[in-house]
Amino acid sequence: MTTEHVKCLIIGSGPAGYTAAIYTSRANIAPVLYEGIQPGGQLTTTTEVENFPGYPEGVTGPVLMDDLRKQAERFGADIRSGLITKADLDKAPYTFTVDEEKEITADTVIISTGAEAKYLGLPDEKKYAGMGVSACATCDGFFYRKKTVAVIGGGDTACEEAIYLAGLASKVYLVVRKSFLRASKIMQERVTNHPNITILFEHNAVGLYGENGVEGMHVVKRMGEADEERYDVPIDGFFLAIGHKPNSDLFKPWVKTDEVGYILTEPGTPRTGIPGVFAAGDVADPHYRQAITAAGSGCQAAIEAERYLSMKGLL
């Protein structure tokens, strides 16, 4: 196995990772960034981003991520495709395995591995994976033009996915387990007023059916109540939008996490408590989870890494 040593290893390629790469490369630290499974991170599956400062007309997620990547590369950041498959944070320099075939050691580490979509846990989600079940409307919506789809969830993600799909599909059911939406007011208004979207409040999807792909879903209205109703809704696509799980499993033997798995850092900083190891972006943020907050924490992590290297005489 080949071994390489770097001053700063950045794990993950969302807004946090790329921003950390911009700052560390401009500080001449020669960072190496591994992109992970989804280069560009979650935003590559988003359509319009209207709230990232600097884009008065809005920008698509893939364009924003491409811009951030190019900005990091302009200053010499070494951005590589590859997945960190093992970590050892016992002592500095920290050791990692890339794709089971290469070892890399690092004086500082910025964990910016983000979070990934959650599923309901229904056996039918696996049975129909790639055959009508998706957790990414932007990736798969194209296949449902003029069809009927369901989006599960009541948060901003669910509303955003429902609106996106409503522009392609002829009908969208938004399946919400509570009697209200958790999403922001503006998103609530958009889904409520959209002619192609029907909101099924107090509904749970409990299964799917279909011969060669999804043809419908089994739903329960007011589950567990005296007036509970069970019925079927014909659909062609089933989109999950019920939140995310932070990608922290690899680091859990060393860093502290909350009960969901978000990495705990010293309040207001990206410091994990392990010298030279920092966490930035959604993997450490159960509260804000925005591209701009992720980018901000990536910047903080980069500045911390630079100060740590300087303090240790490693620059």
Strand ranges (DSSP E) for 55-168?
59-60, 78-80, 84-88, 94-98, 102-111, 115-117, 133-134, 148-152
- C-beta closer to ligand NDP: residue 156 or 215: 156
Judged by CB under 6 A, the stretch of 149-157, 215-223, 226-234, 247-255 that binds ligand NDP is: 149-157
- C-beta closer to ligand NDP: residue 14 or 153: 153
Q: Per-residue x/- mask for ligand NDP, residues 84 to 123, rule CB under 6 A?
A: ------------------------------------x---
Using N-to-C axis directions, what is the helix angle for 185-193 and 156-166, rounded to 10°?
Answer: 30
Q: Looking at the annotation, which residues are catalytic?
A: 136, 139-140
221 is a contact residue toward ligand NDP (CB under 6 A): no
- Nearest CA-CA partner of 298 in 275, 265, 273: 265
15 is a contact residue toward ligand NDP (CB under 6 A): no
Judged by CB under 6 A, the stretch of 131-139, 141-149, 236-244, 297-305 that binds ligand NDP is: 236-244
Using N-to-C axis directions, what is the helix angle for 15-26 and 61-74, rounded to 10°?
Answer: 20
Contact yes or no for 112/279 (Cβ under 8 A): yes
Length of the chain: 315
245 is a contact residue toward ligand NDP (CB under 6 A): no
Nearest-CB residue for ligand NDP: 155
- C-beta closer to ligand NDP: residue 141 or 276: 141
160 is a contact residue toward ligand NDP (CB under 6 A): yes
Q: Which listed residue (41, 153, 216, 246) binds ligand NDP by CB under 6 A?
A: 153
Kindly identify the residues of this chain, within the stretch 33-62, that bind ligand NDP according to CB under 6 A: 51
Contact yes or no for 46/136 (Cβ under 8 A): no
Report in angstroms how near the CB of residue 291 gets to ligand NDP at its nearest. 9
243 is a contact residue toward ligand NDP (CB under 6 A): yes
Cis check: omega of the bond before 56, within 30 degrees of 0:
no
Contact yes or no for 63/57 (Cβ under 8 A): no
178 is a contact residue toward ligand NDP (CB under 6 A): yes
Angle at 256 between CA 304 and CA 268, to 5 degrees: 40
Q: Is 194 exposed, middle or buried (0-12, 13-18, 19+ CB in 10 A)?
A: middle
- C-beta closer to ligand NDP: residue 92 or 152: 152
177 is a contact residue toward ligand NDP (CB under 6 A): yes
Q: Which listed residue (12, 17, 114, 154) binds ligand NDP by CB under 6 A?
A: 154
Taking every pair of Cα atoms in the chain, the longest distance, rounded to a whole number of angstroms, is 69
Using N-to-C axis directions, what is the helix angle for 291-311 and 15-26, rounded to 10°?
Answer: 40
Binding stretches for ligand NDP (CB under 6 A) = 51, 120, 152-158, 160, 177-178, 182, 242-244, 289
